[in-house]
Amino acid sequence: MKKLMISAVAAAVLSGGVASAATQQKRAVLHNEVAGANYYSMQKKAARAFIPEAIKAHHAATPKPPKEILQAFGDTVHAVQAIQHKDTKAAQKYLTEADKLFSEMLKKHPELKFVPINEVIMVNDVIITPEGAKKIVDTSRELLKYYRTQAARDLLVPMKDEMDVMTSYLPMALYPVATKKALAAVKKGDVKSAIAILADAFNTIMTVKTVIPIPLLAAQDFVRQAAALDKSKKEEALKFLEAAKAELQKAYYFGYTDTRSKAYKDLYDQINAIEKEIKGKNMVEKMYEHLKSSFKNLIGKIYSDMRDTVAAEEAKVMKNPKMINGAPSAKAKEEELQEKQNFEAKMKISEFGKEVEADLKKAPVNAK
């Protein structure tokens, strides 16, 4: 009998949550400098202070999955391990418990469709000025003109300044059914079929990546620092606001503003308005609060859009398991959408982009 390799997601859940990134990113470094804000990075150096704070805020705002479902999922993994050790009695015990927990939860919460069972956060924190980012993009564009594709690729690969939140979802329309079928197979002594059923069940777990641009988080942090200053410290406040604008400029050159250019432009305009007010009557309290609220809403929108995508795009597939071919489709659909958006972004420069370039020409900002 062939041995079923336990998936990275399953291993992560059994070991406490984030171990799967070690297998996905062999060179990645686990950072746990701040309690409750673990993340992985390709750098040994810790990320800027506002990033762990953003991770903690994300965890606080994220609904926790029912512990019964996590336990049931863990039991199915233990059942596979028991079968591999030829302990069918233990396998039947685990599957019986899993089936019981799944049935109870579906009866209690029939609205459950996709339950998050694991989350891994990968941070790519890049320190670069808007001018530096623009130079890389312009140089890459020039290289592509002469079909020096690999040279352009080498320049563009590091152009990721983002926090990737990878969430794995267990489909309640499929996984409990598979568990019940696997239990029936074990009771009949057909462990080969049970293993095959559970292998298919593992393949229905979908992992969705949500990208949070770090320049957006950095700009938000600079605005908070400016708002916390005494009104008499005008020059310091203006420096923080200029740094916030520089981060939004970076976001544009990194390609993060293409799908939400209007929202980014609104942030940019609000910062300009506050700068103007500081130089005048300096009545900025309500303006700061509105700006901070705009940042919060945009970041929340990024999260909620991804969850809506999972619900909308994946529902059809879950209702018809035959549509699942190999890996689940949610990630593929999202990547396809992102590719389309990236292509459209290359075809035209947004009005916000034009304003950013004009602003850079007028007063280049070196954000630290």
Residue 173, Cβ density class (10 Å: 0-12 exposed, 13-18 middle, ≥19 buried): middle
User: Is residue 107 domain-shared with residue 182, that is, in the same domain?
Assistant: yes
User: Is residue 351 domain-shared with residue 277, that is, in the same domain?
Assistant: yes
pLDDT at 213 over 60: yes
User: Is residue 144 domain-shared with residue 103, that is, in the same domain?
Assistant: no
Residue 111: the pLDDT is 85
Q: Does residue 39 belong to any structural domain of this protein?
A: yes
Q: Does residue 138 belong to any structural domain of this protein?
A: yes
User: Is residue 345 domain-shared with residue 196, that is, in the same domain?
Assistant: no
What average pLDDT does the structure give for the chain?
81
User: Is residue 290 domain-shared with residue 147, that is, in the same domain?
Assistant: no
pLDDT digits (tens, 9 = 90+) for 147-190: 999 999 999 999 999 999 998 999 999 999 999 999 999 999 99
pLDDT digits (tens, 9 = 90+) for 252-289: 999 888 777 888 889 999 999 999 989 888 778 888 99
Q: Does residue 285 belong to any structural domain of this protein?
A: yes
User: Is residue 88 domain-shared with residue 131, that is, in the same domain?
Assistant: no
Name which of 68, 34, 73 is nearest 51 in CA terms: 34
User: Is residue 142 domain-shared with residue 275, that is, in the same domain?
Assistant: no
Residue 42: the pLDDT is 87
For residue 142, give its domain range.
127-160
Residue 85, Cβ density class (10 Å: 0-12 exposed, 13-18 middle, ≥19 buried): exposed
pLDDT digits (tens, 9 = 90+) for 348-368: 445 566 666 666 666 544 444
User: Is residue 292 domain-shared with residue 230, that is, in the same domain?
Assistant: yes
Q: Does residue 288 belong to any structural domain of this protein?
A: yes
User: Is residue 98 domain-shared with residue 224, that is, in the same domain?
Assistant: no
In contact, 209 and 331? CB cutoff 8 Å: yes
Q: Does residue 139 belong to any structural domain of this protein?
A: yes
Report the domain count for the chain. 3
* Residue 62, phi then psi, degrees to nearest 5: -90, 125
Q: For residue 221, give every residue at least 6 positions away whose Cβ sits within 8 Å of its Cβ, in sequence order, or none.
A: 50
Taking the model in full, what pTM does it have? 0.74
User: Is residue 74 domain-shared with residue 1, that is, in the same domain?
Assistant: yes
pLDDT digits (tens, 9 = 90+) for 307-353: 544 444 433 433 443 433 334 444 444 444 454 444 444 444 455 66
Q: Does residue 154 belong to any structural domain of this protein?
A: yes
User: Is residue 81 domain-shared with residue 142, that is, in the same domain?
Assistant: no
Residue 204, Cβ density class (10 Å: 0-12 exposed, 13-18 middle, ≥19 buried): buried
